[in-house]
Structure 1
Amino acid sequence: MIKTLAILPAYNEEISIGSMVLNTKRFVDHVLVVDDGSIDNTVEIAKIAGAEVIEHLSNKGKGAALKTGFNAVNGHDIIVTMDSDGQHNPAEIPKLIEPLINGEADIVIGSRYLNGQITDTPFYRRIGQNVLDQVTYLNSGIKITDSQSGFRAFASHTIPSFRFNSTDYSIESEMIIDVSNNGFKIKEVDIGVRYDVNGSTKNPISHGLLVLMRLMLNMGSKKLNGRFRKSRNRKQK
């Protein structure tokens, strides 16, 4: 029997966390909330709703929360990650899990833009997302229509491949790069999204610039490593 786990990173999500946990429990075997230093009632509400909760004493960032969650995986075959602010619909979890069960992919990403459909994404956000999609592609060689989506499903055998170097929101792109480096199959499925909820606590412009800077640094590091390897090979001949 396939065992499923949902990891919900959360930071000050007392408004949405209860309903997210309750609805997610309908589609997975276990819900793990990683509270990233919340100063509201997120922890208490998540526990009342029936989630296991791991707490960070201070706010460390989404990447750090995902690392904590993945390190806590124990005997589960499929891991689903979702945002805790209510933008993602837990009823779509089976859609993400199905390709893993059928052996079509090792990782599945829920995409808001897979079919090029018009969404409620604010225009300035979509421009920034397009840029991040392209830079992620340049780093990974994998064409993803929604590289910043946090709604994902992973087969457990992929877990050791993730570095979790990024502690912030650039973790989304880093994980795609890790997927590419390890030769895993990746698939996107169409999902919906809500923008009438509280949403991210991060300023979307500064957030996008931070992710872009991290990706550019990663790209520069890869080029330097490549040049170093070529130089070393020439010296060895």
Structure 2
Amino acid sequence: MAGDRALRNLGTLLSRYTANGIACRLGGDEFLLFLPDISAENVSKLTTRLFHHFHSIAEADPEIKDAALSAGLYMCTTSDTFADCYSKADKALYNVKQNGKNHFSFYHQISHSSSDSPGTARDLQQVADALRKSGSYAGALELNYRDFSRQYEYMQQLIIRSGSRCYLVMLTLEATSDTPAHIEEIEQTLSHMEQAIQNTIRRVDICTRYSSMQYLIILFQPVESQIPNIMERIFMQYYRKAKSTNFLPTYKYLSMAENNMDTNQK
């Protein structure tokens, strides 16, 4: 449902930003635009505004706040065939996806850059810069559960090899009332907790939504005695934001190295 909402939001924006052109959905999460009689400078400005508008909508919706846009552009002429234009725009889009996503590029930009050096080798510094920019984020690294599990396995190997100490924390929001909460109240509660987690733990830490009312957090090399203080700061942030008193946050944690459950709860 969240994915469908993201696509509908984007479709609405495309119809607004292509009033003098044509926009269609190719299928899945890809759209195709045709903008006649427009300069490269103006299409660049239009695409930039479109990206900013979409991101402002996504940031206001907790379920699609991580949605990103990528675009490939080709400045065609009347002598170009549709197949050739489509192919070159698609190559520009592929180049964007290979270099960090969440931005756009013209076909002539990748063709010029590839002709500057022999073969298909990319400049390592450009790749490093793209990776750095694509990986920029604030707060903890928030992943979906599948990617979180892969990071967990990786960090377990890191612990074995380096002797690092990491802890797995399960945070649960428990209902304090027998009356079922409204979906709007639940979504607002989850949004407040996600913000509290993001604003409290460090960029080297990792978090994910585990179930409808639970989160998993990996704390990288904390002092174990400080874990209660870390969780207390998360809860304080949550209580400052949350208006509802129908949910009580609790937690448990264990050492990823020893796998011994600590039964301390807050």
Shared fold (TM-score, shorter chain, > 0.5):
no
TM class by smaller structure: under 0.3
**Which protein has greater RCO, CA pairs closer than 8 Å, 6+ apart?**
1
TM-score, length of structure 1 as denominator length: 0.25
